[in-house]
Structure 1
Amino acid sequence: MSMKQVDPAFTVSGSDKALADEIFKAALDVQRRTPGLESLGILEAYGIPVVKTVFAKTEEEAVKAAEEMGYPLVMKVVSPQISHKSDVGGIRLSLQSGDEVRAAYLGMMEKIPEKRPDAVLEGVQIQKMLSGGNEVIIGMIRDPTFGPMLMFGLGGVYVEILKDVRFAIAPVNEKEAREMIKGIKAYPLLAGARGAKPSDIDALVDAILRISRLVCDFPEIEEFEINPMMVLEEGKGAFAVDMRLTLKKN
């Protein structure tokens, strides 16, 4: 079976391929197969909403960024060697003041090296904390035969525990993107089970279409994952909170 061909009908508006290309080239110039925070710029170039994020190298920068952004906040350690931040105590939630931000920063810089002495700690991310919503994952693995395989499912820890995901060969159209979402067993959670407000399914469909376009435009992307993407109630959108991508060798 051959790879799926890109059709003009699969295009999405509001993408800036040239800007994303510059970010990829900058990563390749320094032989970085796993780009850092600049990955979020790639999402923004393709019109995928991202939670407001600021990078801070020092304790004082972290406090200043927090005061300017407003509370509550999330802090995440930034290190090329650490993919699963929660495993090493590299995520702190619901920070409510400058003192809490300072304590969280100092705690990470002191305790993480004890667990991962090999890791270079570049600093931290400061992010606005979204209230409510559901966590989902949108990912891609590049199959040598079929090309980019998109994945959708519940995000956070649930993806590893429940393994409730659906795959589709990119590029996908709107109907196929919607079928990916409706195809997971946990779809009733997103649709509004037991009187809960439904999630913004249209925003998820749009995100899948944009990611489909991105991974087709850049065959050098070997793996890609937004986890979590926080989808809010209907009409309020979906926002990438964290992402990871790996570029092919050479």
Structure 2
Amino acid sequence: MIGSLIRDARAAQRGVLGEIESKRLVAAAGIAVVPTRLARSADEASSIAHELGFPAVLKLASPDVVHKSDIGGVRLGLADGQAVARAFEELRQAAERAASPTHFEGVAVQPMAPAGLELLLGAYRDAQFGPVISFGLGGVLVEVYEDVALRVAPLHPVDAAEMVGEIRAARLLAGFRGRPAVNRAAIEQALLGLSALMLAAPDVAELDLNPVIAYPDRILAVDARVVLTPASEPRP
């Protein structure tokens, strides 16, 4: 699965996997993801939302957009098929109005995940150290707080446990002001999965899972982005 996703992207001369491809790659590494499907029309989006469940989320599908929210490329909490159809057209128009050229492939449709603690799990390939795994507080404020723990792969269970415990926001994981504690073991297992993935797939340059929503019994990756190394670049 992982190899075929990368080969298909290379064949199409794409350096970034789409969200749905990225989620497939992450799922193949053993990390739970929100079910997501591509819709190329308003009717198809409505049909998929009925299958996956409401409330629904629609996100602009385009290889040209890194942060979808920057151009109004996300619609949340869509209650029915009509709302989904309207949101599809709004996202298509948002792509047309974008300041930079934006190829509109359709929209990614997924059910809205229940509220929980938003985390960031990621990885990148450092020229000196090789694969580096990251963990921290997620959501839209990740770049503001910069509360991230880093380790060089391969990760061992003790490394993953230390990462989870050393961020400044670690006390949120144990429950805070009425919020339940989240499943730290699931987070640690996902970090180990990312480490194994980066070692097994040298074509992956960067991998971002943000947000990953943590619950008392599990974690769930809501968004995913995978960047490939340039085809001619040596991979550390």
Q: TM-score, normalised by structure 1?
A: 0.89
Matched ranges for 1:142-157 at <5 A: 142-157=125-140
Aligned partners of 2:221 and 2:162: how far apart in 1?
21
1:107 maps to a residue whose letter is: E
Deviation for aligned residue 1:117: 5.0
1:118 pairs with 2:101: yes
Deviations 1:101-156 (A, max 9, x none): 11111111123311245000100011111112111111112111111111101111
1:197 maps to a residue whose letter is: P
What is the percentage of aligned positions where both structures have the same residue?
37
- In structure 2, what is the equivalent of residue 53 of structure 1? 36
- In structure 1, what is the equivalent of residue 55 of structure 2? 72
Aligned partners of 1:249 and 1:63: how far apart in 2?
37
**1:194 partner SS:** coil
Cα pair 2:203 2:229 within 8 Å, conserved: yes
Aligned partners of 1:243 and 1:60: how far apart in 2?
25
**1:41 partner SS:** helix
1:200 pairs with 2:208: no
1:158 to 105, 128, 141: 141
Deviations 1:34-90 (A, max 9, x none): 011212111121111110111101111001111122211111010000010011111
Q: 1:112 to 1:30 in 2, by over 3 A?
A: closer
Cα pair 2:16 2:228 within 8 Å, conserved: yes
Aligned partners of 1:115 and 1:22: how far apart in 2?
32
- In structure 1, what is the equivalent of residue 10 of structure 2? 28
- In structure 2, what is the equivalent of residue 216 of structure 1? 199
Structure 1: 5+ residue runs without aligned partners? Answer: 1-18
- In structure 1, what is the equivalent of residue 234 of structure 2? none
Aligned partners of 1:244 and 1:136: how far apart in 2?
15
| Deviating more after overlay: 208-217 vs 141-150 | 141-150
- In structure 2, what is the equivalent of residue 243 of structure 1? 224
- In structure 2, what is the equivalent of residue 14 of structure 1? none
1:247 maps to a residue whose letter is: L
Q: TM-score, normalised by structure 2?
A: 0.94
RMSD: 1.2
- In structure 2, what is the equivalent of residue 9 of structure 1? none
**2:172 partner SS:** helix
2:6 maps to a residue whose letter is: F
- In structure 2, what is the equivalent of residue 178 of structure 1? 161
1:98 pairs with 2:98: no
Aligned partners of 1:226 and 1:136: how far apart in 2?
8
